[in-house]
Structure 1
Amino acid sequence: MTRSGLRTLLGMQPGIAVVGEAADGVEAVEQARQLRPDVVLMDVRMPRLNGIEATRQLLAELAEPPKVVVITTFENDGYVTAALSAGASGFVLKRLPVPKIAEAVRVVAAGEAILFPAALRQMVTARPLGSAEALPQAALTGREEEVLRLMATGLSNPEIAKSCRVSLETVKTHVGNVLTKLGAQNRTHAVVIAYETGLVVPGVAG
């Protein structure tokens, strides 16, 4: 009932067309392979295959995988942080109004990420933090590090451009360089790397 209601309401939102739905993780992967959606709204707790493994399969198996937005009941759900590590572009809470969920889908479809610093902090505090020197050998420039730190606070590209007083195209170039140098799948993965290596310290402003 929840899934059907969400499908109906999302389908009424401007710019969004719901192309399929699935009752479990295995079906979700199969549907995504066949329908090739731009974004998958993925529940973390599903029969047969959970959302974490489904996300990992989609991102590993498809040449042009969809963006994945995890949807869950609790902000501190441990599954969420595991899904982010698996390559999801972010997550939303089921209790949010449908227009907010729709906006998250649009943001992720546009190449941004829906980041919740609290969830990222939960993930990295469960692991030993390294140091910024543990970043990949292709070192980031000072500006790229600044952009990565701002990404870690959840800022969008336009917000980063405003903060750094540069053009949006310049920010996009820096973000692309950061992802390439870190070998990151997406913005969220880059932020995870920043936390895990100690470049960004949980709870400490840049």
Structure 2
Amino acid sequence: MDRKSKELDRKATLTRETIVEAGLGLLNEIGLDKLTTRRLGDHLGVEGPALYRHFPSKSVLLDHMAAAILLPVLRAPHPGEPWDEWLRAVATRSYEVVLDYRDGARLVAASLPTEPRDLLSKPLREAGFSEEHAIYGSKLITRFMVGWQLHEDSERQRADRPTESYDHDQAFRFALDALINGLRLALARTMARKIETIGDV
């Protein structure tokens, strides 16, 4: 089989899933700054334009890569699972997964898809938060996670900076608990106002 035939065969087997998987693998090898559609095409054994049959632009590809990292861990609450325990578990797992990838935090920060926020806001609404507060809460958690991950990522890549002595994972959990406590307080106030409204009727 000649080179052109091999490339045609590879094009035929390309899917969005295989491209995203290859993109994440290459991300770990070379980092976000060096990740181009040409490099990814070379990695897959096809010309760069072949990727545009599946993704109209590099930014759309990066969006799908970010979603592939986050969406598998953004589960719905288990039956009977308190919303605050669910949120802590999901946020902690998301934090861990993103940091498993080289430049994962930068990828997610630049390409944060809407699905994670939607998946977080629905259980918050079901827990009693208003539509508006559920959106605020999901944005608060996702932006906190991304911001913390960016800081952690930059610390890991600064070999010239002395390593801080505290436990970074414990610090993340402490800060996350503080945010969740704030959301608990906001929900309690919302429920109290609802009870007052019912009592006034």
TM-score bracket, shorter-length normalisation: under 0.3
Question: What TM-score results when the alignment is normalised by the length of structure 1?
Answer: 0.26
Larger Rg: 2
**Structure with higher strand content:** 1
Question: What TM-score results when the alignment is normalised by the length of structure 2?
Answer: 0.27
